[in-house]
Structure 1
Amino acid sequence: MAGIHLFPLLGACAVGSFLGGAISSKQNNTSYTLIGSSCLQLLGLGLMTTRSGANSAEPSQYAYQAIFGLGVGLCFSATTIVTSISTAESSEKATAQGAVAQARVLGGSIGLSICTVIFNIHVNRYLEGHLTKGQLESLHRSPLSGLQLPVDQRDLVKTVYAGAYSEEIKILACICSVMVIAALFTLEKHPTPLRIVSSRSKEDQFSRRGSESETEMTDLHNTHQIV
Structure 2
Amino acid sequence: MVNSLGDNTSNDGQCTLREAILAANDAPANADCGAGSSADDTITFSVSGTITLGSTLPAIVSGQGALTIDGGGNITVSGGGSVRVMDVSSGADLTLRNITIANGRSTSSGGISNAGTLTVTNSTFSANSADFGGVGGGIANFGTLTVTNSTFSANSALGGNGGGILNAGTLTLKNTIIANSTGGGDCSNFGTVTTKLHQQPHRRLSRLRPDERRERQHHRLRPQPGRADRLPCLLPAAARQPGH
Give the TM-score taking structure 1 as reference length.
0.23
| Larger RCO (CA within 8 A; separation ≥ 6) | 1
Relative to its length, the structure with more helix (as a share) is 1
Counting strand residues as a fraction of each chain, which structure ranks higher? 2
Structure with bigger gyration radius: 1
Output the TM-score relative to the length of structure 2: 0.22
